[in-house]
Amino acid sequence: MTNDALSKVADAERDVDRYIFEHRVRPTITVDTIAEHRSNPFGAGHSPELEVLLRYLRRNPVRSRPRYMLVETKPYQEWCIALHSRQRGEPLVLTGERFGSQAEAQHEIFLKRLLDLGDPVITRIVETARD
């Protein structure tokens, strides 16, 4: 494939992704969906809306967005969020945020991923859900 053809394919993929986000994913981002994730961050019995949203957030991550991981800093007592550098062999960077349960930490990563979408409307929804 020529560079021009590859560029056209990449543009088409971005257009499809944008369409999916606007028409299928964005409508699922509500205070209720965020509350559902807070009460059940691990997966059994999620609503179809939350499943759509989680699949979108977990799929091929965008390189320009942070990549979050959980680190258990005290066995069964404390979890921290770490940033993965995406470079093999590079150390994780702890954010300093500490959580008393894995569920709390997992939910915070979910909120961070929503905020990383960079959409002001989504940011307001997340801030409302946090209150």
Residue 69 in contact with residue 80, Cβ under 8 Å? no
Percent of the chain with pLDDT over 90: 62
Rg for the chain (alpha carbons), in Å? 17
| Tens-digit pLDDT profile for residues 16-69 | 888 999 999 999 999 999 999 999 999 789 999 999 999 999 886 677 788 899
Q: Can you say how many angstroms the Cα of residue 93 is from the centroid of all Cα atoms in its chain? A: 18
Residue 89 φ then ψ, to 5°: 90, -15
Quote the pTM value.
Answer: 0.87
Residue 52 in contact with residue 37, Cβ under 8 Å? no
* pLDDT score recorded for residue 8: 85
